[in-house]
A and B are shown apart, each in its own frame.
With several copies, the nearest count.
Chain A
Amino acid sequence: MNTACFAAWIEEIARTVHAEKDRLTRLDAAIGDADHGANLDRGFTAVSRVLAAKQPETTGAMLTMVGSTLIRNVGGASGPLYGMAFRQMGRVLGDTPDVSIAQLCTALEAGLAGIQKLGAATEGDKTLVDALAPAIQALAQSVQDGVKPEEAISAAAAAALAGAEATIPMLAHKGRASYLGPRSVGHEDPGAASTALIFAALHAVTTR
């Protein structure tokens, strides 16, 4: 994956987040404060704008820009968390011109670590970690199995989606949903749903 490929991914995230804004907000209305769709849409709209103005020259710079722009424009819990994740990925990628799946996987692991350092959530806490962690595991497994990049990404996207759906029966331990106690059970976590969208976007651009 080169910078053009990352740019396409980011644009696709922006497009699907905008298209799915209301669904994300509805999920957040059930167990949060009804702003997750609006938050991410505001963030990725800003990212698109920055990207349109001047495309960063390295893959690392591009993801760092995404992270910083999210931190600058989103606010809430998801702004710093996603922002930190993209910045960590950018730091790991640096000026790598062509990112392999293995390198992408390493970068994503750094992103996840950043999220967990900030938010202290582990798998099962009903957060975006529950979509991100299995997606990375699937990617790592694919790398180990030596499957084709498209297949690896497809597996990651499927795992993210399954991970998001698996948050439904969970009792929330982190984020706003935790305030609801047992009433958080039975609803999909909005952040996990947006993480699934991010992987679906990657899948969409790599199979184009």
Chain B
Amino acid sequence: MGTVKKLINGIESVVPDTLRGLAAAHPGLRVDEENRIVYRAAGPRPGKVGLVSGGGAGHEPLHTGFVGYGMLDAACPGEVFTSPVPYQMIEATTAVHGGAGVLHIVKNYTGDVLNFQMTAELSAEENIEVAAVLVDDDVAVHNSIYTAGRRGTGATVFVEKIAGAMAETGAPLHEVVRVAEEVNARSRSFGIGLSSCTTPSVGKPTFDLGDTEIELGIGIHGEPGRTRSTMRPARDLAWIAMDALHEDLPLSGDTLVMVNGMGGTPLIELYIVFAEVVDYLAEKGARAARSLVGNYTTSLDMQGFSITTCRLDDQLTRLWDFPVETPALRWGR
């Protein structure tokens, strides 16, 4: 490494070192460093559906920061931007199984889908009932059966929170699956990048942007977006994103909104974007009944933001408000 301006000890040790830090910082977590699995310290609760998610590292706090009461039972980080592997996830699945089956929360990427699929096949051999929900909320990607489909991005946080609450209430697997699918169906995301990001192994930005250039429709892996555009005031950027969401699934009524930073954007700017989102919603007769403003689904040190909306109903609002106690989301306890 030497010259890469990242707080790391080496490319190979990024994930293990992160797990060491996570374990030391959060007594509510138990970390299996060998297998790279983050569990609730309390262990599985008999009769509760287990929730497991996983994906490449580099999106922190997703997923490891969402392990705890009212959310995930285990998270499996892969290498940076690389989905985890089946042996890891079968281990996690077996460990959190409390007799009521396990839900896998999978972001829609070929790698994640294939590795979770193999895990599910192996789980079936062990007689664990496993269901999977696929998160695919990113409207920047046109949905088609001829492509890999939409990416899973910010809505993952909503699915993990709401399905986690549902599982905590003791609901059976098919109910947890239903609510997870419903959250996904009601959620949409759109992201705008002001810079690329630097993966530890590459050591320089994945793509270059000029001083006034931005990328519209970015994902969460430092990849360029659908189109390149020019920098504009926060209001215009927020409206571009909101228009994309509204066009895909009209916004109305109580809405759960996340203004998410990509990792390198300061909180002050995210609040400015959120103020514009609130204006936009008001214009459409909707309102931000619940919200998150901060870094929740990041792309290493990328500068920019994404907006995720979810149309709420009474049940979803209640499940959103349900107590949660994880490193990154905590209320009611």
Contacts and interface: CB of A to CB of B under 8 A. Distances in A.
Interface string B57-99: 0000000000000000000001111111111000000000000
Contact of B79 (A35, A72, A81, A176): A35
Contacts of B109: 77, 176
Interface in A48-90: 71-81
Chain B interface extent, by class? 35 or more
Mostly, the A contact residues are: helix
B85 A174 contact: no
A173 B11 CA distance: 31
Chain A interface extent, by class? 20 to 34
B83 A76 contact: yes
B148 A174 contact: yes
A79 B85 contact: yes
A139 B39 CA distance: 49
A119 B114 CA distance: 8
A29 B83 CA distance: 16
Most chain A beta carbons < 10 A, residue from B142, B223, B224, B226:
B223
A97 interface: no
A76 B226 contact: no
Contacts of A71: 85-86, 118
Given A77-B109, A176-B221, A29 B114 contact: no
B291 interface: no
B147 A174 contact: yes
B161 interface: no
A118 B117 CA distance: 9
Interface string B98-132: 00000000000111001101100000000000000
A73 B224 CA distance: 27
A179 B223 contact: yes
Given A72-B85, A75-B79, A178-B148, A34 B111 contact: no
Contacts of B331: none
A76 B201 CA distance: 15
Contacts of A80: 86, 111, 114-115, 117-118
Interface of B: 11, 56, 78-87, 109-111, 114-115, 117-118, 140-142, 146-148, 151, 199, 201-202, 206-207, 219, 221-224, 226
Interface of A: 25, 29-35, 38-39, 42, 71-81, 118-119, 173-176, 178-181, 183
